[in-house]
Amino acid sequence: MTSNASYDPVRAWAESGVPHLTGRPDGPPLVPPGHAAARARELTDWIRTATSGSVDVDGATILAERAAFTGQRRRGPLTPGGAGRLLPAADGWVAVSCARPDDPLLLGALIEREVDHTTVWPALADWLHEHTRAEFDERATLLGVAGGGIPENRATDEIESVDAPHADLTPHGDPRSVDGLLVVDFSALWAGPLCAHLLGLAGARVVKVETPARPDGARRGDADFYRLLHGGHESVVLDPAVDPDRTALHRLVDAADVVIEASRPRALRGFGLSSEDFVASGGTWISITAAGRDFDRIGFGDDVAASAGLVARDDLDPVFVGDAIADPLAGLTAAALAMSRPAHGPGALWDISMRATVAATLDGTATRTPRHDGRRWLVDTDSAAVELAPPRPRAVTGDAPAPGRDTDAVLADLGITR
């Protein structure tokens, strides 16, 4: 794979649409630090090569693609969707998400106060003034709260002990074709579905699996964005609490070439599914988690990116970078790895930490503030001044299947009875 010097990092950011999602609502857009947009382009270069040009997408613009559909814009210390915030702690800053119905209850337990949706944020802010980032991280891990302390210096900051170093997530081997492979996708929201989407564009057959109790929460989001990621896929709904469905689920995984999961490993283990057995049989298992399979952390793209160290800084306090940027960066990484030939044997378990994918793009560079020439925002690169492009969507083709639409047809086609 090419090095991260292949693309000018500032130009890649400028063309990605991310700066328009970064900064304060009443201030200028900001060009983030690091080279995540350039890294995203390198990953889609790999995918383009692996597919002989049939999947031709720009990784940089994918980073801001969801906002192109939703119309969200920069909100400074709030996430573009409004469910997450950056808050000062006694020794720095933390990023916290409150997106799930039970999150106020969990955050109330974390701060040992009774709160609801209207009082959770001021109560949490008061608690953080008296507690450190490490204290927040410890309690968040125990309670399953999505959030984490923001490192001031990734090389020396004590909160780096939250997750250990991970293997290099850069594809190094030869590309492999996924045309005709069966992909069983257990993931939800953005990172895993983006991986499945790209594999589908490359010719794989993608079967999305949901349970009756846990449909993909992204179905409640922007319909066109959901169609973009799931168009052309098949939908299966099986209940692992019911013996015939559980057996069918196991046989479906046995038939797969690639499995995608984007939850803590215990979730699929609870269904009786073993990644180790699947890999030993020659399959590719894609595991996308907040901080790696060995760490019992949860997170969403915004708080994960910030806790990895990716925030923008102006003369005031830190602000979020883009829209849940750890999600698309992890999804692109996962797709490129799925399209690479494992170094040792036919099977592979790719342990993709969303935090690690973001942290690998941070290089000590600073936030840049563009200038306005009366018509547009411009930022200087090594070669020229470049206009900051807005978020841009790709064209949507095909329909996303309703939950369970294809259950019977997929099982019959694969010779699976229940």
**Which tens digits make up the pLDDT trace of 123-133?**
999 999 999 99
Kindly report, residue by residue over 349-367, the tens digit of the pLDDT: 999 999 999 999 999 899 9
Of the listed ranges 1-5, 30-34, 122-126, 140-144, the one predicted with least confidence: 1-5
pLDDT for the residue 59: 98
pLDDT in the model for residue 232: 96
Q: Taking a C-beta distance cutoff of 8 angstroms, is the pair 193, 62 a contact?
A: no
Q: What is the dihedral of CA 30, 33, 35, 36, to 10 degrees?
A: -70
- Give the pLDDT of residue 4: 43
Distances (CA, A) of 107 to 121, 123, 148, 306: 9, 9, 13, 19
pTM over cut 0.85: yes
What value, to the nearest 5°, has the Cα angle with vertex 133 and ends 127 and 137? 95
The pLDDT value given to residue 240:
95
- The pLDDT value given to residue 382: 86
Beta strand 348-353 pairing with 318-320: unpaired
**pLDDT band at 416, cuts 50/70/90?**
very high
Q: pLDDT tens across 373-405, in order?
A: 999 999 999 889 999 999 999 999 889 999 999
| Domain ranges (residues) in the chain | 9-75+175-407, 87-156
- Under the banding of pLDDT at 50, 70 and 90, the label for residue 173 is confident
CATH class of 9-75+175-407: alpha beta
- The predicted model gives 277-288 an average pLDDT of 97
How many Å apart are CA 311 and CA 232, to the nearest integer?
Answer: 36
* pLDDT at residue 120 is higher than 90: yes
79 and 320 Cβ atoms separated by less than 8 Å: yes
| Residue 307: band (very low, low, confident or very high) from pLDDT cuts 50, 70, 90 | very high
* Residue-wise burial string across 383-411, b where 16 or more C-beta atoms lie within 10 A, e elsewhere: eeebebbebebeebeeebbeebbbbeebb
- In this model, does residue 316 exceed pLDDT 90? no
Pick the closest to residue 61 from 23, 7, 12 (CA basis).
12
Which residue type occupies 65? E
pLDDT value of position 412? 98
Tell me the per-residue pLDDT of 198-232, one tens digit each, with 9 for 90 and over: 999 999 999 999 999 999 999 999 999 999 999 99
User: Tokens representing 31?
Assistant: 């060009």
pLDDT at 296 over 60: yes
**Local confidence band at 5 (pLDDT 50, 70, 90 cut-offs):** very low
Q: Rounded CA gap, 412 and 414, in Å?
A: 5
- 22-26, 170-174, 372-376: least confidently modelled range: 170-174
Query: How close are the terminal C-alpha atoms of the chain, in Å?
Result: 44
Whether 164 has a pLDDT exceeding 80, the answer reads no
Which one, of 106, 141, 138, 142, lies nearest residue 123 by Cα? 106
Return the number of other C-beta atoms located less than 10 Å from residue 251's C-beta: 16
Strand 147-150 to 182-185 pairing: unpaired
Where does the pLDDT of residue 157 fall: very low under 50, low under 70, confident under 90, or very high at 90 and above? low
Q: What's the mean pLDDT in 24-30?
A: 96
**Mean pLDDT score, 59-74:** 97
Cβ burial, residue 78 (10 Å; 0-12/13-18/19+): middle
**pLDDT at site 323:** 98
Backbone angles phi, psi at 299, to 5 degrees: -175, 160
Distance CA 353, CA 339 (A): 18
Q: How confident is the model at residue 343 (pLDDT cuts 50, 70, 90)?
A: confident
Whether residue 310 is predicted with pLDDT greater than 80 in this model: the reply is: yes
The Cα 171–Cα 338 span in angstroms is: 9
Calpha distance 246→242 (Å, rounded):
6
Which whole number is the average pLDDT over 172-179?
A: 89
